[in-house]
Amino acid sequence: MATRQARTTTVALGNGSEAKAHVSDHPDQDARVVIERDGERWAFGVDGREAELETTTEAGDVLDLPEPPAWAETVLWEIGLSLRDDE
């Protein structure tokens, strides 16, 4: 089985701010994307061109994950993905 290379992309968010998106293989999905900015970490599973939030450092011990911030959605868009809409 061929394996894809992991890659990291830096996305400029304006006002001198930036975020890093780490894209890697995942055994149960097309890929996994971890976005990091200012100590926050948001991890998404990817199927096709849609990303679904799996974990975040901003969730604490809650069962329901918070909505990803707008800057995380911008990073997903910049790397060619959209946030999965569950509604």
Mean pLDDT across the chain, nearest whole number? 87
Position 1 in a domain: no
Tally the domains of the chain: 1
pTM: 0.85
Strand partners, 83: 51
Under the banding of pLDDT at 50, 70 and 90, the label for residue 18 is very high
The range of the structural domain enclosing residue 73 comes to 7-83
pLDDT in tens, 48-59: 999 999 989 888
Element (H, E) at 54: strand 50-56
Position 38 in a domain: yes
d(CA 10, CA 3): 23
Position 17 in a domain: yes
Position 20 in a domain: yes
Position 70 in a domain: yes
Position 2 in a domain: no
Q: Is 43 left (phi over 0), alpha (psi -120 to 50) or beta?
A: beta
pLDDT in tens, 20-40: 999 998 888 899 999 999 999
Structure tokens at 81: 């993905």
